[in-house]
Amino acid sequence: MANDKSNMHNVMDDKMSEKCTECGGQGVKVISTEKCPQCKGSGKAKAVDLMKLSEKDMGNFLQEGAACEKCGGSGEIQVTEPCEACEGRGVFYKCKVCGTPIDQLIDGEEVCKTCGGSQIVYNLDESCDMDEVEVGKLYHAKGNNIADFGVFVDFNPHIRGLIHSSNITRKIDVGDEVIVYVKDIKKNGNMDLVPKYPAQHQTVELEKDIPIKKSSQLRDNVRKIVKLEGEVIQVKQTGGPTIFTISDDDGLIMCAAFERAGERAYPDIDSDMIVTIVGEVSLRDDKVQVEVRSIKKLTGTKEKAILERIESAIDKRAEPDEIEFLIESEILDKLRPSMKHVAKEIKKAIIKSKPIVLRHHADADGMTAAVAIERAILPLIREVGGADAEYHYYRRAPSKAPFYEMMDITRDISYALDDTARHGQKMPFVILVDNGSTEEDIPAMKQAQVYGIDMVVIDHHHPDEEVDQYLRAHVNPAHVGGDFGVTTGMLCTEVARMINPGVVDEIKHLPAISAVGDRSEADEARRYIELVSDKYSLEQLKDIALALDFEAYWLKFSSGKCVVDDIMNLGDFTIHKNLVKLLCEQANGMISEQLDACLPNVKSQPLPNGAMLNVLDVENYAHKFTFPPPGKTSGEVHDRMCQKFENKPVVTIGYGPDFAVIRSKNVRMNIPQMVRELHDEIVGAGVNGGGHLVVGSIKFVEGMRSEVLSKLVEKIGAVEVD
């Protein structure tokens, strides 16, 4: 114990003193150098006692002679004088109470004259144990238990001593603060304490000097006391201890603090705080855990330095992989920087243990895009948070509209607030795929911003610049001169490979499904289809896309993870083959039944620009509340009209009481622009909507349907055609 106390004092000396900058801590300053008076500058000794030389020294002496003892063989000596700045001490002392620089120690204590007039009382941090207690010093303590023979007092939760009744002159109750003098420490560790009531005293906070360890070093320090520095990621109250999840430079650390069963320990410590923790490393089910002795919140420069260090380490760990794209594409090459940016933001969120919410449009393109990202990030989520982390830190949810609706954000915020209240989780990181680029997304994004929810977007709908102010990163082919022909499924598959290159064999067929599902005619679509042609025919890809659309309709707001995986051939191949066949039979049967009812009621007429316009009242001439829904029905009708009017520009509008779905071929429309114009030109119609340039939908108030549709047809008839 004596050696440990000596070490502690050395640490205190280091903390309460600084090296003199004038003399570098030497205590003297060199004035000049001069010739050594003993060897006259030769560096050689004049006389040597050969009997005192070892065999080795004798050999050196015979070869080189003996070095002068005074100058060490240099032939010169330094002329010095005591350093005036530190008065020859080599250090400047600081008062350990108030931090004021002092010239000399008072009674051997590092205190200034002002503080020296008061007695020093030490307050032991929870990290301290008996090694930090010294005979002859004063300590703060608190009454814990009253016995017939005295009062037990606690210095901290780990150190307890007895004030014998013979030493008690004033009543001490449980919970009373008292200053005690350590009169003696027995060999068995028992302390003889005497209460003191000094007229003046100064409190000195005392912490145990413990080496700081990183999360990666803990397994090698089991059953040892360590100090950790990091950011609080999550606080979770169990039926027993409170579990603090701490993030440092290298990873996550689970720290357990126990007050009473089910009672919150350290209620002043919460998520996002930078803290220092002292505790004992243990193994629980072969997982490293730290049994907490003390937690302290850090502030100021220390907090800033640790946060910057953690952020820098996470930034390096989150760097996306450099990959070659699965196909050649000028658009993808131009998008690489923004794709890497999104990949990095996603990886950083996972490393920080932020819950991930993956939102996607509920169609074949949106589902393939989301599943590609899902397959890449789930292994990383499990790696960071444990085997069951995906059930606590990940949720995938479809959006019925091709934008982030108010209903979507309301659900996401509600779930997130519940998880924060119950489990101490952070607010989620939202990934929007196949939606999120348009003006219609902004109201939901504004709500997300209120709650500090970060968001990234991967989309191919025509973008509005305004959305970028609400996003951490945004990938859209329109930003680099591309269009909706580069589908979200293609983009997300490549981003997924940047996040986790090991998933390529699982997901490389998803862009081809996305391409046929979204009817892309881009060169990229052809190349992705050719990439997997040895395993999937074009008809098989179309069947998978149809099965996804069909299942998405019935899943509504559920992700349907396992069923969707089977449809995409990410599980048992036999189940995949049989399931896709069955779903396509059911979907085609319902489509055929719908078309039998719809086609006789389609009205066709030529427009001034030569395009053939086809309109269908899907409210009155199509089955409602079943598959295919109005959008899919309009698309199927459009396909039949393109076959009927082959080699002509074709536009199909399926409309209801307050909406219209637009499909076109070889007509150079800009639907988002048309929507804005209709909104401004028809007062009281409440027009909004959007989508791609030539495929989209609009909404309006029911009473203004005739005016909106008439004006829409007028605008379509005025655009150029191919």
Q: Write the pLDDT tens digit of every residue in 405-439.
A: 999 999 999 999 998 888 778 899 999 999 999 98
Distance CA 369, CA 507 (A): 10
| Residue at 430 is within a domain | yes
Q: Which residue has the higher pLDDT, 423 or 9?
A: 423
Q: Total domain count for the chain?
A: 5
Spatial CB neighbours of 51, under 8 Å, sequence gap ≥ 6: none
Measured between alpha carbons, how far is 374 from 376 in angstroms, rounded to an integer?
Answer: 5
Whether residue 179 is found in the same domain as residue 47: no
Are residues 198 and 227 part of one domain? Answer: no
Same domain as 153, residue 89: no
Query: 702, 698, 671: which is closest to 684 by C-alpha?
Result: 702
Q: Is residue 674 part of a domain?
A: yes
300, 155: one domain: no
Give the CATH number for residue 406: 3.90.1640.30
Does residue 408 sit in the same domain as residue 512?
yes
- Whether the CA torsion 553, 554, 558, 561 is positive or negative: it is negative
Question: Which of these three, 76, 93, 110, is where a domain ends?
Answer: 93
Read off the pLDDT of each residue in 575-590 and give the average, rounded to a whole number.
Answer: 97
Q: Answer yes or no: is 105 within a domain.
A: no
Check whether residue 385 and residue 517 sit in a common domain: yes
Question: Residue 438 is encoded by which pair of tokens?
Answer: 């348009």
Strands 28-35 and 119-124: unpaired
**CATH number, domain with residue 262:** 2.40.50.140
In this structure, of 405-409, 481-485, 529-533, 690-694, the range with the lowest mean pLDDT score is: 690-694
Q: What is the mean pLDDT of the chain?
A: 88
Is residue 111 included in any domain, yes or no? no
299 shares its domain with 352: no
Domain membership of residue 507 as a residue range: 330-579
Pairing of strands 159-164, 191-196: parallel
* Cα(378)–Cα(369) distance, integer angstroms: 15
> ∠ CA(617), CA(619), CA(620), 5° rounding?
75
Contact between residue 215 and residue 229 where contact means Cβ atoms under 8 Å apart: no
- Which of 28, 14, 31, 30 has the alpha carbon at shortest distance from 87? 28
Are residue 388 and residue 497 in the same domain, yes or no? Answer: yes
Q: Which of 190-199, 200-209, 382-391, 504-513 has the highest mean pLDDT?
A: 504-513
The DSSP code for 477 is G
> What's the confidence (pLDDT) of residue 434?
95
Looking at the structure, do residues 258 and 361 belong to the same domain, yes or no?
Answer: no
Instruction: Say what the pLDDT of residue 12 is.
Output: 41
Going by the DSSP 8-state scheme, the letter that residue 362 receives in this structure is S
Q: What is the pLDDT of residue 690?
A: 77
Contacts of 506-509 with C-beta under 8 Å, sequence gap 24+, read 506/375, 506/570, 507/371, 507/372, 507/375, 507/376, 508/326, 508/532, 509/535, 509/536, 509/541, 509/568, 509/569
**pLDDT value for 244:** 92
In a domain, 21, yes or no: yes
Angle at 220 between CA 15 and CA 217, to 5 degrees: 60
> Which of 178, 206, 234 finishes a domain?
206
Is the pLDDT reported for residue 118 higher than 70? no
Of 39-43, 247-251, 322-326, 691-695, the poorest mean pLDDT is in 39-43
Question: What is the reported pLDDT for 30?
Answer: 74
The CA-to-CA distance between both ends of the chain, in Å, stands at 92
Helices and strands of the chain, counted as H and E runs = 19, 28
CATH number of the domain to which 617 belongs: 3.10.310.40
Q: Please give the average per-residue pLDDT across 75-101, as a whole number.
A: 69
Same domain, 225 and 182: no
pLDDT above 70 coverage of the chain, percent:
89
Q: Is the pLDDT reported for residue 13 higher than 50?
A: no
Does 6 score more than 70 pLDDT?
A: no
In a domain, 436, yes or no: yes
Shared domain for 305 and 335, answered yes or no, is no
Same domain, 434 and 458: yes
DSSP bridge partners of 432: 359, 457
Residue 596 lies in a domain: no
Q: What is d(CA 362, CA 397) in angstroms, rounded to the nearest whole number?
A: 9
pLDDT of residue 218: 92
**CB distance 596 to 631 below 8 Å:** no
- Domain membership of residue 98 (yes or no) is no
- Distance from C-alpha of 40 to C-alpha of 56, rounded to nearest angstrom: 26
Contact in structure between 216 and 235 (CB atoms under 8 Å): no
Q: Which residue has the higher pLDDT, 29 or 542?
A: 542
- What is the predicted pLDDT for the residue at 5? 39
Name the residue among 485, 496, 503, 491 with its Cα closest to residue 333: 491
Residue pair 702/691 in contact by the 8 Å Cβ criterion: no
CA 42 to chain centre: 68
Least confident range of 55-69, 421-435, 610-624: 55-69
Contact in structure between 382 and 417 (CB atoms under 8 Å): no
Residue where one domain finishes, among candidates 206, 233, 268: 206
Mean per-residue pLDDT for 584-613?
96
- Check whether 115 has a pLDDT greater than 70: no
Q: Considering the entire predicted model, what is its pTM?
A: 0.73
